Structure formats: C-alpha cells, structure tokens
Amino acid sequence: MKILVTGGTGYIGSHTVVELFSAGYDVIAVDDFSNSDPKILDQIEKITGKKPAFKQLDLCNEQEVIAFAKENQDIDGIIHFAASKAVGESVQNPLKYYRNNFYGLINILTAFNSKIKLVFSSSCTVYGQPDTLPVNENAPVKKAESPYGNTKQIAEEILQETCAVSPDLNVIVLRYFNPVGAHKSALIGELPIGVPQNLVPFITQSAIGKRGPITVFGDDYNTPDGSAVRDYIHVVDLAKAHVSAIKRLEKGDTANYEVFNVGTGKGSSVLEIINAFETSTGEKLNYTIGARREGDVEQTYGDVKLSNEVLGWKAELDLNEMMSSAWNWEKYLKDNPF
C-alpha cells in the first residue's frame, strides 16, 4: 500500500513515517512547514535509509489539494495529522484553528471523492473532563474546553456523517492522549516553533538553558499532588498505533467508521513528570507554581482495552524512556540546530 501522511514532517507524522517504512509501506508525505522543518526529511532518511516522496502543500487550498490528488491516484490510504494543535494557543487564536483544522480535512475528503482508507488524528480533548476514569470510547463527548478540542469534535462529526453516505470511505479515528518523547536515535523529536505550548519540550528547553523556570499551571486540582493529570504516551508507541490502524483498514473487514483510544491507560501528574525527568536524566529542574490555565481539564487518562484487543496494539515504553529520549533529542538539537 501507498500511504499519504499529511503533516508528515511534524512531530507525530515524522515518527509515523519511520514506522510505516519499517512495516514495509510506501509513503508520500505532505506538509506546509508551518510547524516543522524540511530537514526532518533528511533525518528520516538517516534513520530508515529511505526518504519519503514529498510535496510541500497547503491543505487549506482546495485547488492545490485537488490537483495533488489527481497526480497521485495510486494512494491507497491517508493518515491525516496536519492541523494546529495547541490548546492554549487555540484559546487565544480560535479562527486559526477553525480555518486550519476544518479546511484541510474537508479538502482531502473532497479531492479523494470520499473513496479512501483514512486514519484521523483526534484527541482525548473530545471528552472534556470525563465523568468516569479511565474514559472509554463510549463516554459522552462534552462541550469542548477549548477551540482546539472543538475542532476535533466537529471533525469527528464530519467524518462520521460523510461515512454514513459514502460506503467507499473507511475511517479509523484515533483519540490519543499526550504524546511525548523522541525516536531512540535522537534524530527526530518534537520541534516547537517559539515558546513550547506543551509540557515536555518546555521541560527539556528549561533544563538545557533555553527557557527560564517551568510553570506548573495549578496545584489545587483534586488530584493526588494537586497538579493536573494526563495520560502520557511515547510518540513511537503512538506512531505504531497508526500503523496498526492502517493494517486494520487494509484487511477491509471493518465497519466504515471506528474510534479507538490510544494511551497507556495510566495518568501521571505534571509534578510526577518533572520528577521522572529528573530521575531519568539526572538533571535538576527549576519550577514555579502558577494559576490554572484556561482550557485545561483537571485529569484524564484512557481506557485502552479496545485498541489493545481490536487493533492488536499496546503501549510499551515507560515514563523514564519518554523523558530520557526527549532529553537526548534536546541535546542533539543543541549540537545540531535546525
């Protein structure tokens, strides 16, 4: 199969390209480099010995996407990552998120005539603050806590409603939790532009001297240590889940719309992540306690039984591996700046 990976030079996209190559798939990647770097293509080649076919493409431009689809009619499946992704930024700039996250998806469905096998990058943010933990796929989708979360909710609705009238469209939605870490080679990892919006890259940048002290947003949540709790998953495990989803779609014996949680099934607090980083790297972190951040939920972690049993996938890498690999990537960037 030939797989199109949108956002293929991004954080999760690049790791997924590596795992797709490892599994024997042909890959074509597209990206507009708004949140990534062209050098990632060379880094993928260093890891795998292969460079994916690539097209710089603005998925919000309908005519460009239609032309691309006509030129690449041999694409068998799509993994759609390309989107704006930071909760905090989405609160400050909601129109950017509604524009990027809807136009790209709709243009892909239009260009490929809704006749494709598609894995969609969704998020646990669709659950808001769950009533019961761990949260499973049957939990109610609540009013979103942020524009980012709202775009994922509505995108899922777009896909489900399109599947209902498009028998040739087969979709697996992966609702994943908090990806962290980097490839064991330290050649690819999270590459935030400007001030990181996510916890772990801010930790690594603080530890290496790029940033000041870390701010823990809230220590008065109803959690064991008062800080917010998330289900952190190693990005390589997450990438492998996308390969498992493609393999399931390839078999062709599934419902044409399915949803799976992808996480470890265990919650870790912000303060636990800080401690895990210090333990695994030997680096001491400076942090301060700040006010709760708008758009954040108190705690969430996933019930991943369905993805374990039906996708045949399970997270394997622990917190220490997440933190140490993220640190190795940060040290690589210090010596090899992008």
- What are the tokens at 159? 């896909």
Whether pLDDT at 295 is above 80? no
Beta-bridge partner residues of 175:
122, 261
Task: Give the pLDDT confidence score for residue 89 in this predicted structure.
Answer: 87
Report DSSP state, residue 299. B
pTM exceeds 0.75, yes or no:
yes
Task: Give the pLDDT confidence score for residue 67 in this predicted structure.
Answer: 98
* Confidence band of 254 (pLDDT split at 50, 70, 90): confident
* Confidence band of 314 (pLDDT split at 50, 70, 90): very high
User: Residues 6 or more apart from 152 whose CB is under 8 A from it?
Assistant: 101, 122, 123, 125, 126, 144
Amino acid at 174: L
Task: Give the pLDDT confidence score for residue 194 in this predicted structure.
Answer: 87
Whether pLDDT at 143 is above 90? no
Whether pLDDT at 180 is above 90? yes
Q: Are strands 229-230 and 117-123 parallel, antiparallel or unpaired?
A: unpaired
pLDDT digits (tens, 9 = 90+) for 98-133: 999 999 999 999 999 888 999 999 999 899 888 999
pLDDT digits (tens, 9 = 90+) for 14-25: 999 999 999 999
Mean pLDDT within 154-179 = 96
Is 148 marked active-site? Answer: yes
163: left (phi over 0), alpha (psi -120 to 50) or beta: alpha
Task: Using a pLDDT cut of 90, give the percent of the chain over it.
Answer: 88
25, 97, 148, 257: the catalytic one is: 148
Task: Give the pLDDT confidence score for residue 270 in this predicted structure.
Answer: 97
CA distance 324 to 186: 10
Task: Give the pLDDT confidence score for residue 13 in this predicted structure.
Answer: 98
Q: Are strands 170-176 and 229-230 parallel, antiparallel or unpaired?
A: unpaired
Task: Give the pLDDT confidence score for residue 14 in this predicted structure.
Answer: 98
Task: Give the pLDDT confidence score for residue 181 in this predicted structure.
Answer: 98
CA distance 41 to 29: 9
Beta-bridge partner residues of 268:
230
Mean pLDDT within 297-304 = 94
- Neighbour count for residue 315 (Cβ, 10 Å): 23
Q: How far apart, in Å, do the first and last CA atoms of the chain sit? A: 32
pLDDT digits (tens, 9 = 90+) for 326-338: 999 999 999 999 8
Task: Give the pLDDT confidence score for residue 144 in this predicted structure.
Answer: 85
Whether pLDDT at 145 is above 90? no
Mean pLDDT within 282-300 = 92
pLDDT digits (tens, 9 = 90+) for 233-252: 999 999 999 999 999 999 98
Task: Give the pLDDT confidence score for residue 319 in this predicted structure.
Answer: 97
* Confidence band of 146 (pLDDT split at 50, 70, 90): confident
* Confidence band of 157 (pLDDT split at 50, 70, 90): very high
